[in-house]
Amino acid sequence: MDLESRPGDFDPMSFKRATLEEIEGVPFPHDLQKHWDLLQGFKARPDDLLICTYPKAGTTWIQQIVDMIQHGGDLEKCNHSPIYERMPFIEMPPVIKPLPSGVEQADKMPSPRILKSHLPVQLLPPSFWEQKCKIIYVARNAKDNVVSYYYFHHISKLMPEPGNWDEFLENFIAGKIAWGSWFDHVRYWWEAKDRHPILYLFYEDMKEDPAKEIQKVAQFMGLELPQSVLNQIVQHTRFDSMKANPMTNYSTLPSSILDQSVSPFMRKGIVGNWKEHFTVAQSEQLDDVCARLLQGSGLNFRTQL
Ligand code: A3P
């Protein structure tokens, strides 16, 4: 769907940036509130595969990997439409017309579906647990995650104003940003994998050895990847390939929604970019909070490779 060709459907002048409203103690962009009951009644199907992440942890990357695995490494087959049309973002309210809400989009889609969500584990619609759907979760270290989220707030008109970097970091640490506490998110999803079919991956591992992590994903999906297909997938899901691909780089969204002249969606794609943003004091503060809030979880994040 070419949104640029239908500018009348989205009026940037009347579009105000979101404010945050809490749902069960977790802040979300306010539009989600009136959509909540519909979302909670979402009808998952047993063969759905859900991709879940904290925002900016590498969602688009794992989405493209999963899609390429499902299509046997054939980029042409994946490239029939932008990634957000291939995989409904289930909690997306119907704010970007003519795009339907994530729930409507998913309801119309034939099985097997691949779905995307950023919901914390306790707020996932219950049917995903009832149907025992497979879930792939990707976690990224807090420092790179918050930097990426900060830039995203600048370019996405669907997010609240971020304030300056110091303020944004404070709000991130306090969990007072959209989709809530990163610490709770990564920790509670980690604990959930002991009672549900969840493949828990790390952005840093994907960066270090993409082929190995792609194999894990394929195995989880119950598929075998011949070496030639694996090579294709590694090549087409590299950062530079996805940055150049209009079907994965979000350039198909109008700048009135996502202004990539401010910062590209595919921004850096590395481990350790946080070093260019954090002061020494901020880095130590976040290390301390991570150590405290993740203590005893068994979770360990790498902030450099
Ligand atoms: P940066 O802002 O640090 O560059 P999401 O898809 O969850 O919104 O995450 C976006 C982040 O993942 C961005 O991080 C983006 O550059 C990075 N990313 C997207 N595709 C990638 C890829 N193929 N390899 C590495 N990083 C990727």
Q: Is 266 in the pocket of ligand 1 (CB under 6 A)?
A: yes
Whether residue 234 has pLDDT greater than 50: yes
What whole-number distance in Å separates Cα of residue 154 and Cα of residue 273? 17
Q: Is the CB of 57 under 6 A from ligand 1?
A: yes
Per-residue pLDDT, averaged over 122-126, amounts to 98
Q: Is 118 an annotated catalytic residue?
A: yes
- Determine what percent of the chain falls in helix, strand and coil, rounding each to the nearest 5: 45, 10, 45
CA distance 77 to 236: 13
Q: Which of 35, 118, 153, 236 is catalytic?
A: 118
Has residue 22 got a pLDDT over 50?
yes
Listed in sequence order, the residues at least 6 apart from 149 whose beta carbon sits closer than 8 Å to its beta carbon are 55, 56, 168, 172, 177
Whether residue 112 has a cis bond before it, omega within 30° of 0: yes
Percent of the chain with pLDDT over 90: 91
Question: Does residue 259 surpass a pLDDT of 50?
Answer: yes
CB 138 within 8 A of CB 203: yes
For residue 6, what pLDDT band results from cuts at 50, 70 and 90? very low
Confidence band for 3, pLDDT divided at 50, 70 and 90: very low
Answer whether 266's CB lies under 8 Å from 247's CB.
no
Residue 216 has pLDDT above 60, yes or no: yes
pLDDT band at residue 17 under the 50/70/90 scheme: confident
Residue 137 scores a pLDDT above 80: yes
Distance separating alpha carbons of residues 186 and 58, to the nearest angstrom = 13
For the segment 161-210, what is each residue's pLDDT rounded down to a tens digit? 999 999 999 999 999 999 999 999 999 999 999 999 999 999 999 999 99
CATH class, range 26-141+179-258: alpha beta
What number of other Cβ atoms are within 10 A of residue 192's Cβ?
18
Separation CA 12–CA 9 (nearest Å): 10
**Spatial CB neighbours of 248, under 8 Å, sequence gap ≥ 6:** 60, 64, 82, 83, 242, 266
Residue with tokens 């990163």: 182
pTM: 0.95
> What is the position in ligand 1's atom list of the atom closest to the CA of 268?
4
Per-residue model confidence as pLDDT tens digits over 39-54: 999 999 999 999 999 9
Output phi, psi for 141, to 5 deg.
-60, 145
Q: Note the pLDDT of residue 97.
A: 76
On the question of pLDDT at 109 being above 70, the answer is yes
